[in-house]
Amino acid sequence: MSAVFDDGLSLFGVRRMMEGVIPPVLCTASADRVPNVSYLSLCEYVDPLHIALSYQFFNRSRENVLATRRAALTLDDPYTGGGVVMQLEYLRTETEGPVFERLRAKLMGVASHVGMDKVFHLRGADIYCVTEMRRVPGRKELPAAAPRVDLATNSRLLSERMANSEDMADLLDTLLGGLDDLLRIDHAMLWLSDASQQVLTLLASRGYDFEGAGAEISVGEGLVGTAVREGVPIRVGHMMNMATYMRAVRERAGESGLNVAPAPEIPLPGLKEPRSQLAVPLRARGRVLGALLVESQHDQYFGYDDEDALMLLCGQFAVAMSLMQPQDQDAPAPVTGRPAPVGQGPALRLRRLGRDNSVFLDDIYLIRGVAGAILWKLVAEFLRSGRREFTNRELRLAPELRLPDVQDNLEVRLLLLQRRLAEQNAAIQLEKAGRGRMRLNVSRDIVIEREAG
Amino acid sequence: MALTNDMIQLLSAGVAHQVGACTNDGRPVVCRGLAAQHEAGRLLVIVSSESGFEVLDAIRQNGRIAVNITLPENYRSLSFIGDDAVVRGSGAAWRPLVTERHNAFSEQLRRFGIPPEYTNAWYSADDEHLVAIRFTPLQARNQTPGPGAGNPVDLIPIEFEK
């Protein structure tokens, strides 16, 4: 079938109109030509001749499409006020494959963000051939906004900076700093996945009142959790609008009560009312190692080009992170004997729950998992022998830490622990002490307790 | 059948309008509406003859029409269906109604951070392109997104002078 498009129009060129800032409008008609007009959740570019529309509910639009296989669709440009109208021919409904997964990830990401992922269920991706596309005539359009930065050039600069990073801390700071000063992305968080616990841990953030290192969310929760679970980027350009749309659907669905997540033990940083968000997975060696979440107080701040640029940069970051093996220092760390009393204030109570290695300082939750186990080992050894310096190698070989994948995890877990202790201004601090070595700094006496769990 | 008071109030609350039709050979067509108003049991809808030429042609063929109104603040959405639509009357006489509806709609979108300059692009039809469509609503459908979108809702059976 040949398609008839206005001069200069292409489906690729109107991708930005499919972002849902102004919801697409679908017009169908019954077999006896009674029209029906409704709004859609999602429209997705497939290829130069095809688009996919979300199929969530069996309603009159779907009944009509199955009867006639024809539809008209309008899309509005979120920047200029221009628009296009299309004639569509329904081809098929896909319930698996990349197009379906992309639509489902977007739907779940946004639904989860507003706590409605239990209500939303993508039944299929309806694939349509676009047989005609023309501009809506008679509109006095606004000029398109100028690009925020030269994305290609500045991404290249950032990539070069990252390539020169020598360790994990440097790599992380380079990425977050570069997003800010080169790409004008002021608010960013970097989350790490821990496949064994199905949680994401915040490694670092930039642009918020507090860093929140060590905060956790579930894989699948919110935009970032969904991006990790599905391994695809998810972008929302007009969160207020989408949230309102989702609430309308929920009310129609007759659901009562949201799936309220328990309050996090470490507060999450983040904008109170973000207008735009983009979550990009960190993928390397066939795995998703975490995700970068960027957000803005402005509508439509991130476009397709940002998504492309951040996918490349996050890919580079993930590969570098996975290749950045802890540096070994084979010489044994010096032993100084049992620690002398520090004697400043009451002793610090260090408590550990065996179940998940959660560590508490004076009953205040600090961290869990591998990072918690590392801290426990370091402090126990310090109290036993007085030793303050430790090598990465001995941690890698320590059977009690049960590191799931040392090359991927030790360096970042040490960095996470170091930042969490620093943010808490704790009486125990961790610092680098040379190649492959770290030092424990203790400013109060310590009493340790272990609870079964 | 006539609109309920609730529906009539919704018409002036700052809704977006979409007008759908279908040609005799089964081609569905749609355009943005500029204003709608209840008139003694009938519904008046204003569209631009530039952006809505396909819809006007289809209505002239068979009189079938679906007018969707949606309030952005909560996505409450209704459609009114008719089969006796006629295209009649155009010009500057409709400008005050269009301006009133445009202002109310802009105020709705302003809450979402969309500036009036943006909605002005949708309402930029010249006076000579404003065209009126009138029809008797036979059916109303709840089009609020979700399951059951498109299901009928009650209209009021009333007598009115033609």
CB proximity A271 to B under 8 Å? no
Query: What pLDDT does residue A251 have?
Result: 65
Amino acid at A111: A
User: How many Å is the Cα radius of gyration of chain A?
Assistant: 26
Task: List the one residue out of A408, A68, A55, A19 whose CA is nearest residue A236.
Answer: A19
Q: Residue length, chain B?
A: 162
Instruction: Categorize the per-residue pLDDT at A35 as very low, low, confident or very high, splitting at 50, 70 and 90.
Output: very high
CATH code of B81's domain? 2.30.110.10
Instruction: Categorize the per-residue pLDDT at A263 as very low, low, confident or very high, splitting at 50, 70 and 90.
Output: very low
Query: What pLDDT does residue A324 have?
Result: 74
Note whether residue B72 is domain-resident.
yes
Does A142 sit within 8 Å of B149, measured CB to CB? no
- Please say whether the beta carbons of A73 and A152 come within 8 A: no
Does A34 sit within 8 Å of B22, measured CB to CB? yes
Query: What pLDDT does residue A226 have?
Result: 85
CB proximity B66 to A under 8 Å? yes
ipTM of the complex: 0.93
Query: What pLDDT does residue A356 have?
Result: 80
Count Cβ atoms below 10 Å from residue A397 Cβ, excluding itself: 11
Interface of B with A in 97-136 (CB under 8 A): 112-114, 117-122, 124-125, 129
Residues of chain B positioned with their CB less than 8 A from the CB of A249 = 144-146
Indicate if the pLDDT at residue A249 is higher than 70.
no
Q: What is the end-to-end Cα distance of chain A in Å, rounded?
A: 65
> Per residue in B9-42, is it b (16+ CB within 10 Å) or e — as a string?
ebbebbbbbbbbbbbeeebbbbbbbbbbbbeebb
Point out the least confidently predicted range of A12-21, A65-74, A201-210, B142-151.
B142-151
Q: Could you give the CA distance from residue B106 to residue B126 in angstroms, rounded to a whole number?
A: 18
Query: What pLDDT does residue A1 have?
Result: 60
Which helix (DSSP H) or strand (DSSP E) does residue A323 occupy?
Answer: helix A304-323
Does B74 sit within 8 Å of A244, measured CB to CB? yes
User: Tokens 């509005």 label which residue?
Assistant: A76
What DSSP line would sit under chain B, residue for residue?
A: -B--HHHHHHHTSS-EEEEEEE-TTS-EEEEEEEEEEEETTEEEEEEETTTTHHHHHHHHHH--EEEEEEETTTTEEEEEEES--EEEEESGGGHHHHHHHHHHHHHHHHTTT--HHHHHHHT---GGGEEEEEE---EEEE--SSTTTTEEE--B------
Q: Of the candidates A71, A80, A252, which has its C-beta nearest B146's C-beta?
A: A252
Note whether residue B64 is domain-resident.
yes
Interface of A with B in 365-384 (CB under 8 A): none
Interface of B with A in 72-101 (CB under 8 A): 72-77, 79, 81, 83
Point out the least confidently predicted range of A225-239, A252-266, B128-142.
A252-266
- Please say whether the beta carbons of A52 and A85 come within 8 A: no
Give the best-scoring range by mean pLDDT among A273-277, A404-408, A449-453, B100-104: B100-104
Note whether residue B22 is domain-resident.
yes
Query: What pLDDT does residue A113 have?
Result: 61
Percent of chain A with pLDDT over 90: 40
Point out the least confidently predicted range of A53-57, A199-203, A268-272, B12-16.
A268-272
To the question of pTM greater than 0.90 for the whole model, the response is no
Q: Of the candidates A36, A241, A245, which has its C-beta nearest B20's C-beta?
A: A36
Mean pLDDT rounded to a whole number for chain B: 90
Residues of chain A positioned with their CB less than 8 A from the CB of B28 = 27-29, 35, 68, 70-72
Give the best-scoring range by mean pLDDT among A254-263, A383-392, B51-60: B51-60
CB proximity B47 to A under 8 Å? no
How confident is the model over A112-139, as a mean pLDDT?
84
Q: What is the dihedral angle through the alpha carbons of B143, A75, B102, A274, rounded to the nearest 10 degrees?
A: 90
Query: What pLDDT does residue A411 have?
Result: 81
Q: Would you identify the CATH topology of the domain A348-451?
A: Arc Repressor Mutant, subunit A (1.10.10)
The range of the structural domain enclosing residue B25 comes to 5-143
Which helix (DSSP H) or strand (DSSP E) does residue A246 occupy?
Answer: helix A239-253
Residue-range domain boundaries for chain A: 4-97+116-135, 151-323, 348-451
How confident is the model over A15-32, as a mean pLDDT?
88
Residues facing A206 on adjacent strands: A188
CB proximity B145 to A under 8 Å? yes
Indicate if the pLDDT at residue A132 is higher than 70.
yes
How confident is the model over B127-136, as a mean pLDDT?
96
Does B75 sit within 8 Å of A39, measured CB to CB? yes
Note whether residue B151 is domain-resident.
no
Query: What pLDDT does residue B101 have?
Result: 97
Query: What pLDDT does residue A261 have?
Result: 41
CA distance to partner chain A, nearest, from residue B109 (Å) = 9
Instruction: Categorize the per-residue pLDDT at A107 as very low, low, confident or very high, splitting at 50, 70 and 90.
Output: confident
Residues facing A294 on adjacent strands: A188, A278
Indicate if the pLDDT at residue B86 is higher than 90.
yes
CB proximity A85 to B under 8 Å? yes
CA A147 distance to own-chain centroid:
24
Indicate if the pLDDT at residue A255 is higher than 50.
no
Q: Residue length, chain A?
A: 453
Indicate if the pLDDT at residue A330 is higher than 60.
no
Note whether residue B116 is domain-resident.
yes
How confident is the model over A125-139, as a mean pLDDT?
95
How confident is the model over A102-110, as a mean pLDDT?
78
> Per residue in B83-98, is it b (16+ CB within 10 Å) or e — as a string?
eebebeebeeebbebb
Indicate if the pLDDT at residue A119 is higher than 80.
no
Q: Of the candidates B19, B65, B147, which has its C-beta nearest A253's C-beta?
A: B147
Q: Which residue has the higher pLDDT, A151 or A42?
A: A151
Does A25 sit within 8 Å of B30, measured CB to CB? yes
Give the best-scoring range by mean pLDDT among A96-100, A150-154, A396-400: A150-154
Query: What pLDDT does residue A50 have?
Result: 97
DSSP secondary structure letter of residue A355? T
Residues of chain A positioned with their CB less than 8 A from the CB of B118 = 81, 142
Tokens representing residue A287 in the block: 């795995």
Tokens representing residue A1 in the block: 């079938």
Q: What is the end-to-end Cα distance of chain B in Å, rounded?
A: 13
Indicate if the pLDDT at residue A331 is higher than 80.
no
Indicate if the pLDDT at residue A333 is higher than 70.
no
Task: List the one residue out of A263, A246, A231, A192 whose CA is nearest residue A412.
Answer: A192
Mean pLDDT rounded to a whole number for chain A: 84
Query: What pLDDT does residue A260 have?
Result: 34
Closest residue in chain A to residue B143, using alpha carbons only? A38
Does B19 sit within 8 Å of A37, measured CB to CB? yes
Does A141 sit within 8 Å of B70, measured CB to CB? no
Closest residue in chain A to residue B27, using alpha carbons only? A70
Count Cβ atoms below 10 Å from residue A256 Cβ, excluding itself: 7
Q: What is the dihedral angle through the alpha carbons of A45, A244, A240, A25, rounded to the nearest 10 degrees?
A: 30
Residues of chain B positioned with their CB less than 8 A from the CB of A138 = 48, 50-51, 124-125, 129
Task: List the one residue out of A311, A312, A274 whose CA is nearest residue A295.
Answer: A274
Count structural domains, chain B.
1
Interface of A with B in 35-54 (CB under 8 A): 35-39, 41
Mutate to test the interface with A, among B69, B112, B126 (most CBs of A within 10 A): B112
Q: Could you give the CA distance from residue A328 to residue A437 in angstroms, rounded to a whole number?
A: 8
Indicate if the pLDDT at residue B54 is higher than 90.
yes
Tokens representing residue B62 in the block: 């068979």
Instruction: Categorize the per-residue pLDDT at B34 as very low, low, confident or very high, splitting at 50, 70 and 90.
Output: very high
Architecture of the domain spanning A4-97+116-135: Roll (2.30)
Interface of A with B in 298-317 (CB under 8 A): 299
Does B51 sit within 8 Å of A139, measured CB to CB? yes
Indicate if the pLDDT at residue A258 is higher than 50.
no
Indicate if the pLDDT at residue A162 is higher than 90.
yes
Q: Could you give the CA distance from residue A301 to residue A148 in angstroms, rounded to a whole number?
A: 9
Query: What pLDDT does residue A112 have?
Result: 66
Amino acid at B94: W
Closest residue in chain A to residue B29, using alpha carbons only? A72
The 10s digit of each residue's pLDDT in A141-154 is 888 778 889 999 99
Q: How far is CA A284 from CA A40, A154, A172, A316, A382, in A?
A: 35, 23, 16, 8, 36
Q: Which residue has the higher pLDDT, A214 or A266?
A: A214
Indicate if the pLDDT at residue A407 is higher than 60.
no
How confident is the model over A38-53, as a mean pLDDT?
92
Q: Could you give the CA distance from residue B148 to residue B144 in angstroms, rounded to a whole number?
A: 9
How confident is the model over A307-330, as a mean pLDDT?
83
Does B28 sit within 8 Å of A85, measured CB to CB? no
Instruction: Categorize the per-residue pLDDT at A257 as very low, low, confident or very high, splitting at 50, 70 and 90.
Output: very low
> Which CATH number is associated with domain A151-323?
3.30.450.40
Interface of A with B in 206-265 (CB under 8 A): 238, 240-241, 244-245, 247-253
CB proximity A135 to B under 8 Å? no
Give the best-scoring range by mean pLDDT among A218-227, A247-256, A290-299, A316-325: A290-299
Instruction: Categorize the per-residue pLDDT at A93 as very low, low, confident or very high, splitting at 50, 70 and 90.
Output: very high
Indicate if the pLDDT at residue B56 is higher than 90.
yes
Instruction: Categorize the per-residue pLDDT at A259 as very low, low, confident or very high, splitting at 50, 70 and 90.
Output: very low
Phi, psi of A194 (to 5 degrees): -125, 95
Mutate to test the interface with B, among A26, A38, A238 (most CBs of B within 10 A): A38
Point out the least confidently predicted range of A12-21, A128-137, A288-297, A374-383.
A12-21
Note whether residue B161 is domain-resident.
no
Q: Of the candidates B19, B113, B145, which has its C-beta nearest A252's C-beta?
A: B145
